[in-house]
């Protein structure tokens, strides 16, 4: 089966791989490590991509992109995720914060936020989950109350990636009560430097920067900080989640690591047990299946016909692929000698992938909630789509 997408895409892949080879440090395995140089390298690389119109390729030119097709943007996503995301946290602003501001933001919000995202200069974090509102996001309690100056926001968010380094937060808060819990929610665009915001890192095997608690104590916001309509933030969030779930091309990293395994093992590959090689083959097949599901959702999204069931099916497939490939790769990596730079890098890359795969079942909505969304879509239930997501 041909996954090349044609000559334009092939040329773009080649350009991106040359840039990665020349601009990304050897041994790079992501921006969020104990070494600040890794984040600095990612930020520099974002500037390189932005100068060439590749950071936000599919954005309209008036917003800092180059009007590329969704398929060209998909090539960018695949190459970035395949090579341990050298854009750092920028995928959040590129994939869904920016496009959501394009769709729902005022002209002032678009002028304020879109150019810095397109230049790779700003990092965003997402203020959604709370201690008692994770999968059931609409049950959140962080409240925004009107006062003489606009709004005062108080509450707590949790599992907030990049909160220690972000300049802005895409924050969901409750602005009214009564009626269905999905009503009365509003999106605020809040600077992380605002008085009353406290970030507390959560230690985990994912390393620094990924998981944080964020506390809001009377944080000031104005009507100019509201994205979309007051009390209608849930409809904005549903679009956000669709962009987020498809925009992370983790299948590309799975496939690249799986394909690298035989070279990493060298002559020892032939000694691998047939059962393990069979699992390796099945994982590769499932990586291609996840890629096809992603392409199907992207085609529907591009035509304006994507449904929550489509994105849920993709998310389930890629999460299972993440974990299946991580298990296979961990067993294979145990046979790779660590007496060479290449061997050590492969083993470190597999370990990094394994750690993230273990967190994948709850990231961007748990697998169980994705299964509920898919079931509702298939059964044509009348309940509001995403009610408990």
Is 331 an annotated catalytic residue?
no
Question: Are residues 289 and 325 in contact, defined by beta-carbon separation less than 8 angstroms?
Answer: no
CA distance 308 to 315: 10
Give the closest residue to 193 by CA, choosing from 158, 168, 227, 221.
Answer: 168
Please check whether residue 283 is in contact with residue 258, taking contact to mean a CB–CB distance below 8 angstroms. yes
Q: Is 168 exposed, middle or buried (0-12, 13-18, 19+ CB in 10 A)?
A: buried
Which positions ≥6 away from 210 have C-beta within 8 Å?
32, 161, 162, 204
User: Residue 26 in 3-state DSSP?
Assistant: coil
Tokens of 366: 């748990």
Q: H helices within the chain, ranges in order?
A: 7-23, 36-51, 70-82, 90-92, 98-104, 107-118, 233-247, 250-265, 274-302, 308-333, 341-359, 367-379
- If phi > 0 it is left, if psi is from -120 to 50 it is alpha, else beta; for residue 122 that is beta
Burial class (CB in 10 A: 0-12, 13-18, 19+), 61: exposed
**pLDDT the model gives residue 2:** 56
Residues forming a β-bridge with 190: 169
Contacts 24+ apart (CB under 8 A), 343-348: 343/264, 345/27, 346/260, 346/261, 346/264, 348/27, 348/29
Q: What is the pLDDT of residue 386?
A: 43
Confidence at residue 85, expressed as pLDDT on a 0 to 100 scale: 92
Residue 363 has what pLDDT? 62
Is residue 280 helix, strand or coil?
helix
Give the per-residue pLDDT at 362.
Answer: 62
**Tokens found for residue 78:** 């695949």
Q: E strands of 88-167, at which residues?
A: 124-127, 143-147, 150-157
pLDDT (0 to 100) of residue 97: 94
Phi-psi region at 112: left, alpha or beta (left = phi > 0; alpha = psi -120 to 50):
alpha
Phi, then psi, of 47 in degrees rounded to 5 = -65, -40
Quote the pLDDT of residue 361: 64
Q: What is the pLDDT of residue 95?
A: 86
- How large is the C-alpha radius of gyration of the chain? 21
Q: Whole-angstrom Cα distance, residue 361 to residue 359?
A: 6
Q: Which of 72, 78, 130, 244 is catalytic?
A: 244
8 A C-beta contact, residue 46 and residue 123: no
Low-confidence ranges of the chain (pLDDT < 50): 1, 381-389
């Amino acid at each position: 089966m041909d996954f090349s997408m044609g000559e334009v895409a092939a040329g773009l892949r080649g350009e991106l791989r040359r840039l990665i080879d020349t601009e990304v440090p050897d041994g790079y395995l992501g921006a969020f490590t104990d070494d600040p140089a890794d984040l600095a390298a990612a930020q520099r690389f974002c500037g390189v991509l932005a100068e060439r119109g590749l950071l936000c390729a599919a954005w309209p030119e008036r917003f800092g992109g180059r009007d590329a097709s969704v398929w060209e943007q998909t090539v960018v996503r695949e190459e970035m995720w395949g090579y341990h995301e050298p854009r750092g946290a920028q995928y959040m602003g590129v994939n869904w914060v920016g496009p959501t501001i394009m769709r729902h933001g005022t002209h002032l919000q678009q002028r304020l936020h879109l150019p810095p995202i397109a230049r790779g200069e700003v990092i965003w974090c997402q203020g959604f989950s709370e201690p008692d509102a994770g999968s059931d996001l609409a049950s959140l309690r962080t409240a925004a109350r009107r006062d003489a100056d606009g709004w005062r926001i108080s509450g707590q968010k949790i599992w907030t990636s990049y909160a220690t380094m972000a300049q802005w937060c895409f924050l969901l808060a409750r602005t009214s009560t009564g009626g269905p819990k999905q009503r009365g929610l509003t999106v605020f665009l809040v600077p992380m430097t605002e008085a009353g915001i406290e970030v507390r890192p959560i230690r985990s095997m994912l390393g620094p920067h990924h998981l944080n608690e964020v506390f809001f104590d009377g944080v000031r916001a104005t009507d100019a900080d509201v994205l979309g309509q007051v009390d209608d933030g849930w409809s904005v969030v549903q679009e956000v989640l669709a962009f987020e779930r498809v925009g992370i091309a983790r299948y590309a990293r799975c496939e690249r690591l799986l394909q690298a395994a035989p070279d990493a093992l060298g002559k020892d590959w032939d000694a691998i047990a047939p059962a393990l090689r069979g699992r390796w083959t099945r994982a590769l097949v499932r990586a291609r299946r996840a890629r096809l599901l992603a392409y199907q959702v992207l085609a529907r999204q591009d035509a304006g016909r994507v449904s929550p069931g489509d994105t849920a099916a993709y998310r389930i497939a890629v999460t299972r692929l993440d974990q299946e490939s991580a298990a296979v790769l961990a067993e294979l990596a145990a046979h790779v000698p660590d007496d060479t730079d290449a061997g050590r890098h492969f083993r470190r890359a597999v370990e990094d992938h394994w750690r993230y795969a273990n967190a994948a079942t709850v990231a961007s909505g748990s697998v169980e909630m994705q299964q509920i969304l898919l079931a509702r879509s298939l059964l044509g239930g009348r309940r509001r789509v995403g009610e408990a997501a």
